[in-house]
Structure formats: C-alpha cells, structure tokens
C-alpha cells in the first residue's frame, strides 16, 4: 500500500515537472508576438513621437502589420505574412505592398524585444499582468 502511494506521488511530481517544462518552452517561443511601438531613449524624440501611433504588430498566425498614424491621421498600414527563424531570431516577411525590408531582426536588449528598421527602433510593449 505504501509503495503504491509513493509511486503515485512520484508520478504526480513528474507530471507537474513535465507540464512546467512545456509551459516554459512554449512561452519562450511566444515572446516575439505582440505590438512593438516606436521608441526612443532621447527625451526630445520621445516628445515628438508621443502624438504618433507607429507600431509593428507580430501575430501568432504568422501575419504582421506595420502601421503609422500621426495626429490621429493614418499615414500607412502595411500587412504581410512572415516565417520565423528561431535560430537567428529573424522574421522573413512578404509584404502585400509598400517598400519595406523583407527581413526583420528581433533583438533582446536589457530584457526588451527590439526591432529596428533603419534608424527607427520599435520596442515590444509589456503584457499587462
């Protein structure tokens, strides 16, 4: 009777451990998904872009949106599909229109996910907890 109870406890611990490992590994792959807003460490630039809604949205369904709105007026909204290369942390994008880069590198800097297009930096918004 005691050995049966010990076996059940070990089986339960093993199940919890495997579940924890799977949940951690799937979260790591999902870290790239979300909205990346235009960002600058320069206070003057930050004040300038405060009235803009410029972002890159990376969706789980392998679609991507590159949007720019200035003073509530839409400037552009490009859509595309991407393939994610986990080893290089790169998005290979096929845009439906626009003259945009077909390769976007996602960098991890100080715990933040960053995408750069030219001199413009987009930082992933933190999920609300």
Do 13 and 56 lie in one domain? The reply is no
Any domain includes 54:
yes
71 and 42 in a common domain = yes
Residues 54 and 4 in one domain: no
The residue range of the domain holding 3 is 1-30
The average pLDDT across 44-69 equals 91
What residues have CB less than 8 Å from 54, skipping those under 6 apart? 37, 38, 67, 68, 69, 120, 122
18 against 93, higher pLDDT: 93
Check whether residue 86 and residue 74 sit in a common domain. yes
| pLDDT of residue 28 exceeding 50 | no
Whether the predicted model's global pTM rises above the 0.75 cut: no
Q: What is the DSSP letter of 42?
A: S
Please report which helix (H) or strand (E) contains residue 35, including its range.
strand 34-39
Q: Sign of torsion, CA 25 27 33 38?
A: negative
* Residues 47 and 106 reside in one and the same domain: yes
Which tokens belong to 19?
Answer: 């579940």
Q: How far is Cα 91 from Cα 79, in angstroms, rounded to an integer?
A: 14
How many independent structural domains does the chain possess? 2
pLDDT digits 0-9 by tens, 71-101: 888 888 999 999 999 999 999 999 998 788 9
Q: Are residues 37 and 85 in the same domain?
A: yes
């Amino acid at each position: 009777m005691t050995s049966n109870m010990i076996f059940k406890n070990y089986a339960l611990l093993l199940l919890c451990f495997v579940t924890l490992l799977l949940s951690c590994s799937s979260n790591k792959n999902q870290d790239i998904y979300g909205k990346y807003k235009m960002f600058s460490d320069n206070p003057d630039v930050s004040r300038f872009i405060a009235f803009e809604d410029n972002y890159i949205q990376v969706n789980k369904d392998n679609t991507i949106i590159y949007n720019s709105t200035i003073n509530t007026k839409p400037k552009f909204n490009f859509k595309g599909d991407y393939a994610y290369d986990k080893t290089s942390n790169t998005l290979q994008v096929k845009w439906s229109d626009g003259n945009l880069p077909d390769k976007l590198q996602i960098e991890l800097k100080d715990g933040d996910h960053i995408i750069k297009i030219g001199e413009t930096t987009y930082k992933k918004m933190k999920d609300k907890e």
